[in-house]
Amino acid sequence: MRWDSLRLDDPPEAEAGDLFTAAGQGAVRREGTLPLIERGAVARTFDTPGFRGMTFYEVQARSVVNRVPEASRMPFRWTVNPYRGCQHACAYCFARNSHTYLDMDAGADFNTRVVVKVNAPELVRKKLASAKWAGEHIAVGMNVDCYQRAEGRYQLMPGIIGALTAAANPFSILTKGTLILRDAELLAAAAEVTEVGLNVSAGFTDKDLWRSIEPGTPAPARRLEACATLNERGLPCGVLMGPVVPFLSDSPAQLDQTVRQIAAAGAHHVMPIVLHLRPGTREWFFAWLRAQHPELVGRYLELYGHGAYAPKAYQNRIAGQVRELADKYGIGRARPGSGRGAPSRGTGPAARAVPAPPSRPAGEAPVPPRAAARPEQLTLL
């Protein structure tokens, strides 16, 4: 294994680039870094049910606040990802290919071999204290989930949230993990001094599909319960409805059921995103599809035969249906007593939500130029 390909300062091409650059754009490797093992990485295994079969590589990273490439369509410029690899084992995870930069595979290795940046809180605090730091918005957990099961053992997020709070630095979190509730009080304290955007990810509510395609995640119903709990505690939380999985979660009845349950959770906004299949993810997903739904392989080859994204017409149809359902069930309407947190500086609670990975909907207005110290957010339904 060539550990030299894991750069512990995590430049954006290696990590954030897999989310934010154009599909197919390769990472740029930089020479001169020491192998991971020579930097004192520790490999650990834990003989407990929740971690059996897992290996965790504990590293001292050089930096953890990473710049998003300028070519990105995302309306923020900085991310924090305390982990690489993810126990959630989602067959569609867009970040899978980033594991190949470590000479691990994008399939089973991504699910079972997780890199833990054990000094992440310290590095966030150091970065935010720098005289050069302009106080820009930071998106946390946008590459792999920051509240995956490993976080229950390593507990990196309380320190990261604490550092952001101490600096009154705006941030957002996107997660499938119900462990976010552990940090509700910390998030409430942060919201008193800065803007905090919270989103849970739930693309569908079908239990059979969940068990098959997202086997390491909490059930969708539990995620929506977490969303409801956060909202009840005065922490506005929305839902990234993604991915919508063609032919498996996209029927009118399925969309209606999902949006209805999102509304019942009191979500402040909902944003649909259609499945996209980039290199690394595409191969693993099709292996899953052939095993679980062989009758759909041909239809997927037609839908994704020309690239990573579904046709614009399909994306537009899904977006339109979800928009109508959001209106029908009242998602996004003002709620009495909501809006806890620092003054919004003109962005509003819904606008403080974490943006989703790009699904390239047709007709989408271009993201305006990014200001030096104010994150711009995507409009959510």
Helix (H, G, I), strand (E, B) or coil at 272: strand
pLDDT in tens, 224-279: 999 999 999 999 999 999 999 999 999 999 999 999 999 999 999 999 999 999 99
* Average pLDDT score over the chain: 81
Side chain identity, residue 85: G
Alpha-carbon distance of 354 to 143, in angstroms, equals 13
Listed by start position, the domains of the chain span 3-351
Alpha-carbon distance of 275 to 278, in angstroms, equals 10
Cβ-based neighbours of 226, under 8 Å, separated by 6 or more: 178, 180, 181, 200, 218, 237
pTM recorded for the entire structure: 0.80
Architecture of domain 3-351: Alpha-Beta Barrel (3.20)
Query: Which of these, 111, 103, 100, 116, lies nearest to 26 by C-alpha position?
Result: 100
Predicted local distance difference test score (pLDDT) of residue 44: 86
Alpha-carbon distance of 308 to 329, in angstroms, equals 32
Q: For Cα atoms 138, 144, 148, give the angle at the middle one, nearest 5 degrees.
A: 105
| Model confidence at 39: pLDDT above 90 | no
Predicted local distance difference test score (pLDDT) of residue 65: 96
Helix (H, G, I), strand (E, B) or coil at 276: strand
Query: Which of these, 296, 265, 250, 273, lies nearest to 198 by C-alpha position?
Result: 265
pLDDT in tens, 296-330: 999 999 999 989 999 999 999 999 999 999 999 99
| Model confidence at 103: pLDDT above 90 | no
Query: Which of these, 277, 300, 200, 188, lies nearest to 240 by C-alpha position?
Result: 200
